[in-house]
Amino acid sequence: MSYIVATEQLSKRYGSRTVVDSLNLRIPAGCVYGFLGPNGSGKSTTMKMLLSLVRPSSGEVQVMGQPMNRGTRRRLLGHIGSLIESPPGYGHLTGRENIRLVQRLLDLRDEQIDQAVRTVRMQDQLDKKVRDYSLGMKQRLGIAMALARQPRLLILDEPTNGLDPAGIEEIRDLLRRLSDGGVTVMVSSHLLGEIDKTATVLGILSGGRLIFQGTRDELFAASTPDVLIDTPHPEYANTQLKGMVASRLDHGAVRVSGIGDQTTARVVAHLVGAGVDIYGVRRDEQSLEDVFMDLTGGGGL
């Protein structure tokens, strides 16, 4: 598989505080990569290192097969669109004047600008001053500025922050269209629900460490759902399991966490041996949110 972004043991330390710890990101070309993690988990710092806005303390960033550093930054940035922190835009100028600044800065053609503006559906809003834009319009203008260079890679840091549900859906739709058009999109969020349906590959960061990277299905597989044991005597059954596994009562059943199939068999045999009637044994249904919460330890979500 070809990766448009790959990092090797990428770390960032400020004094004794490690913000990003030995990250090995692998972003396949053409995907929408959902970069998830609680606030303060190191997502923005990682994205800034990918853009060479922040120097790594150790490790390496490869973008489009080339190392990203001060020497290569300017050339590589010509192929990377980005929206980091708040959307850019000079409030005293109109949307059109703002996007012309980007055009001159990057020496872009009129067609490139027109296409970027149409992609974010801002063609009818360009003559307003940016200070009169809503947050959603500012985000879309920022994305248009990022898209104007027709990037191969688009890095968006929490683009749905502060948007209403309609705005969030609009960004989701935009990301899908960009991905269909061959642009690799890396999008960060601290809310799984915001990018869960859009991202084809997920990376989950917690405390500066990458605790999961893979597809949605792989994420489900990475987490073992709890086992629920239905019995007419749940209190007695729960007492029998003390010291053997982590169990607790749950709505008339016994919930056992973190056990595989073989341990499940042993638990059932143990209960049967203790004279507990068992009506049913099943795995709990887990939402992606539950898996995410499990992996991040509920980190502030």
Partner 1 sequence: MANEFAKMRHLRMGLIASVMVVIVTGLSVAGAATSPAFAVPSGRSWEALLGGMSLAVPLASPLLLAVLASRQVDIEHQGNGWLLSQTSGVTPGGLCRIKLLAVGIVVAVVTILESVLVLVAGLLLGVPDRVPAGLWAGYTASVLVANLVVLALHVLLSARIDNQLVGLGIGVLGTIVAVFATALPPAMAHLTPWGYYALVAAAGYQGTQLVALTPAYGSIAALGAVAAVLFVIVTGRFDRREA
Work out whether 228 is an interface residue with partner 1 (CB under 8 A).
no
Other beta carbons less than 10 A from residue 300's beta carbon: 11
Taking the complex as a whole, the smallest distance from the CB of residue 106 to partner 1 amounts, in Å, to 6
Closest to partner 1 by CB, 48 or 190: 48
Closest to partner 1 by CB, 85 or 173: 85
Work out whether 130 is an interface residue with partner 1 (CB under 8 A).
yes
Amino acid sitting at position 134: S
Taking the complex as a whole, the smallest distance from the CB of residue 76 to partner 1 amounts, in Å, to 9
92, 103 contact by CB (below 8 A): no
Work out whether 97 is an interface residue with partner 1 (CB under 8 A).
yes
Binding part of the chain for partner 1, among 103-111, 163-171, 213-221, 285-293 by CB under 8 A, reads: 103-111
Selected from 17, 104, 242, 251, the binder of partner 1 by CB under 8 A is 104
84, 157 contact by CB (below 8 A): yes
The binding track of 64-83 with respect to partner 1, each residue x by CB under 8 A or -, is: ---------xx--xx-x-x-
Rounded Cα–Cα distance for residues 162 and 192 (Å) = 15
Selection from 37, 60, 50 nearest residue 207 by Cα: 37
Other beta carbons less than 10 A from residue 281's beta carbon: 18
Selection from 93, 89, 90, 149 nearest residue 119 by Cα: 149
Taking the complex as a whole, the smallest distance from the CB of residue 266 to partner 1 amounts, in Å, to 54
Work out whether 84 is an interface residue with partner 1 (CB under 8 A).
yes
Torsion of CA 163, 165, 170, 171, to 10 degrees: 50
Please work out the total of residues on this chain that contact partner 1, with binding judged by CB under 8 A: 32
Closest to partner 1 by CB, 91 or 193: 91
Closest to partner 1 by CB, 55 or 197: 55
Cα distances (angstroms) measured from residue 13 to each of 246, 250, 301: 37, 43, 24
Taking the complex as a whole, the smallest distance from the CB of residue 71 to partner 1 amounts, in Å, to 12
What does the chain come to in residues? 301
Q: Which two tokens stand for residue 121?
A: 């559906």
As a whole number of angstroms, the longest Cα–Cα distance in the chain is 80
Closest to partner 1 by CB, 71 or 300: 71
Where on the chain is the footprint of partner 1 (CB under 8 A)?
48, 51, 53-55, 73-74, 77-78, 80, 82, 84-93, 97, 100-102, 104-106, 129-130, 145-146
